[in-house]
Structure 1
Amino acid sequence: MEFYQLYGSEELIKQDSISKAFGIELSQRKVIAFVGAGGKTTSVHHLAKELVSLGKRVIITTTTHMFLPTEHGVLKEDKEMLLSMLNLSGIAVVGTPCGDGKMAKVSDSFYEWMKTVSDYILVEADGSKRLPIKVPDKHEPVLPKDTDYVVVLVGLTCLSKPLLECCHRWQMAMEILNCEPTHEVEPGDVAKLVAEGYCNKLMIPFRVILNQCESMEEREKAVEIINNLKELKISIDNVAFGNYILS
């Protein structure tokens, strides 16, 4: 894991944990929703493993659709099975199979019960068709009513690509940017889409994560996006950028 925040105008501070990069206060947060595009599922699972390493019990679930888990799965509303999985590994991925290799949300009553047996519930609360950037429709994202914190993901592989090829709901992005569908995405575009699509609508704490940032050039673009977000009145304290380093 290699994530950074920008302090001042140029100084970069490397964060030594995912929870710090995501701005999550470990003693206070309970329900964390992941929205946007470009790494939601990866982010959920990395954070879950970090929280478990700190002795937390974590449930992963969704309010939309999420690919079926390869491990830690509890794919029916079975309290005994879920508790057994938490006791065994500290993580349970909970949902209802809905076809096409995906799972959907559990019932409201089972969700309420899950909160009583876990320290954290991590929720994938947005769909993105596996594209790196998204503009949400009016009914999106689907945040649980008790969400404490939101992580907004953007994948920087969208940069320099035509809007219609890299953006979920690119027609809505065209309206925000006043551009053609073949317009190649620039750092200022990313900032505007994130600010207008998500940040300006959220009434609870959030962090913007600029993911898929590997090269020095991409790092420079990330800093440019952060400065553009600052001009749009989004605090740079709420933004981090980087990439997951897999060993």
Structure 2
Amino acid sequence: MFFENFGIEKNTVTGITGSGGKTSLIFCLAEELSKYGKVLVTTTTKIYEPDKKKYEKLFLTETNEVFQGTGKNIFIFGSKIENGKLLSPTEGEILSQRSLFDYILYEGDGSKRKFMKFWRKDEPCILSFTDNIIGVANIKAFGLSFSEENVHRYNMYMDKNNKFYKNKYIDFEILKSYIKEGKFFRNFSGKKIIFLNGIENLDEFKMGLEIKKEVQNLILGSVKKRKIYFENNISAVVMGSGKSERFGKNKLLEKIDGIPMIEILLKKLIKFPFKKIFVTYKDQEVFEICKKYNVISLKNNRYYLGQSESIKLGTSNIKNESIMFFTGDMPFLSEEVIFKIISEYDNRITIPVVSGERFSPVIFPNRYKEALLSLSGDIGGREIIRKEKDINFIDFFDKKPFIDIDTEEDFENLKVVFKDDRK
């Protein structure tokens, strides 16, 4: 849930500032929190009048009017409605409501529904009793024209920076600088988070990761997709200690285009912010490859007992995170496929399928840890999956990314295809 990733606790006041999804985020949070207590939504400036479906009651201080909505446990608080906008009550009036609600959420500035904004000296308007501030930016600003159409107070900003930004598009550097230097918090000393909203594909995710390297407490996600990426913690476990009996030797060390198969996979995995990447191994050569990529190698001295030993070895090193299991012999597994599986993970066992046929990699929520540790033999996690009725199946239309290699004949045939793809 979003509120868990933002660390919103009971009896706290949270401000939302910035642009590119503030209102959507505030009602997403309100909807989640309403399951755990009474939520008050308000503003310190003005917001568009909320739809009646979003609230149970709306209170206006100037007229003492109360409007009934069709929602539950979400209450709206303002001074009056003017030209379709709800205007702010006073700070004292909001403070007087604090003891009556389990959570208070408020918008601390306006952006006229544009993707970027620039702040006046008196913005954002932060309540003195605020516990958390979430600053919102939006990856969808990238590539748009740097103009009044997309930037709130564009003219004010251009008065000072017209040479650099004139006739510009919002490129990576502009977006990164906006997030790094934006006045989301204005001297606020409490808990501060920036949420980069609108991330819905691999390219946007990668761009977000590059910005995250330079911005502390940056969370990547999409309110539209109701998704936070990796903040719920996922570790990868690569099963690299199989017996390769049908192949006759360790197939993971066989090279395609000069690169061992297991290394092809690791090159992709290190681009994702897994909490940790574990690789089980039995051969020293696999260990040496792991050292190159700074992943954690786990020697499997019981590899001869089957795949379950790799699963147990990886799982025993997991703490509170979910576990994404990979086999090391899937050279066609792409970053796009990995991202899609992760982006659609919803805290259920998550399995990619093509025309009803199931494949790896599979994600297990942490609650299955004990069951995974009790496995035996060479059936892997199939027994756990068989007993589970509520599974998240992710549909794909092409089997090729999930092809694994069992024999030398498989390898020779697929090696040619792989090289053709690389061209």
Mapped to 2, the partners of 1:115 and 1:223 lie a distance apart of: 37
Contact 1:191/1:226 (8 A) holds in 2 = no
Question: What is the match of residue 217 of structure 1?
Answer: 203
Matched, 1:47 2:20: no
Q: 1:36 aligns with which of 8, 14, 18?
A: 18
Matched, 1:60 2:69: no
* Unpaired runs of at least 5, structure 1: 1-16
| 1:38 aligned partner, one-letter code | G
Q: Could you state the TM-score of these two structures normalised by the residue count of structure 1?
A: 0.78
Question: What is the match of residue 114 of structure 1?
Answer: 97
Question: What is the match of residue 3 of structure 2?
Answer: 19
Mapped to 2, the partners of 1:132 and 1:65 lie a distance apart of: 18
CA offset at residue 110 of structure 1? 2.5
Q: Structure 2 matches for 1:185-204, cutoff 5 A?
A: 185-198=170-183, 201=186, 202-204=188-190
Contact 1:68/1:97 (8 A) holds in 2 = no
Question: What is the match of residue 166 of structure 2?
Answer: 181
Deviations 1:21-60 (A, max 9, x none): 3x22425x6110000000111100010111112x221100
Query: Secondary structure at 1:45's aligned position in 2?
Result: helix
Contact 2:185/2:192 (8 A) holds in 1 = no
Mapped to 1, the partners of 2:91 and 2:122 lie a distance apart of: 18
| 2:170 aligned partner, one-letter code | V
Quickly say closer, same or farther: Cα 1:69–1:118, change in 2 above 3 A. Answer: same
CA offset at residue 197 of structure 1? 2.1
Contact 2:45/2:109 (8 A) holds in 1 = yes
Structure with the bigger RCO (C-alpha within 8 Å, sep 6+) is: 1
Query: Secondary structure at 2:195's aligned position in 1?
Result: strand
Contact 2:13/2:130 (8 A) holds in 1 = yes
| 2:183 aligned partner, one-letter code | Y
CA offset at residue 167 of structure 1? 1.6
Contact 1:62/1:104 (8 A) holds in 2 = yes
Deviations 1:103-160 (A, max 9, x none): 1112344212210100111001110011011221111111111111111011222101
Q: Could you state the TM-score of these two structures normalised by the residue count of structure 2?
A: 0.47
| 1:67 aligned partner, one-letter code | Y
Quickly say closer, same or farther: Cα 1:117–1:222, change in 2 above 3 A. Answer: same
Question: What is the match of residue 152 of structure 1?
Answer: 135
CA offset at residue 219 of structure 1? 1.3
Cα RMSD (Å) of the superposition?
2.7
Contact 1:187/1:222 (8 A) holds in 2 = no
Quickly say closer, same or farther: Cα 1:131–1:158, change in 2 above 3 A. Answer: same
Query: Secondary structure at 2:144's aligned position in 1?
Result: coil
Q: Structure 2 matches for 1:56-135, cutoff 5 A?
A: 56-71=37-52, 72=55, 73-77=57-61, 89-135=72-118
| 1:187 aligned partner, one-letter code | F
CA offset at residue 173 of structure 1? 4.7
CA offset at residue 187 of structure 1? 2.4
Quickly say closer, same or farther: Cα 1:178–1:204, change in 2 above 3 A. Answer: farther
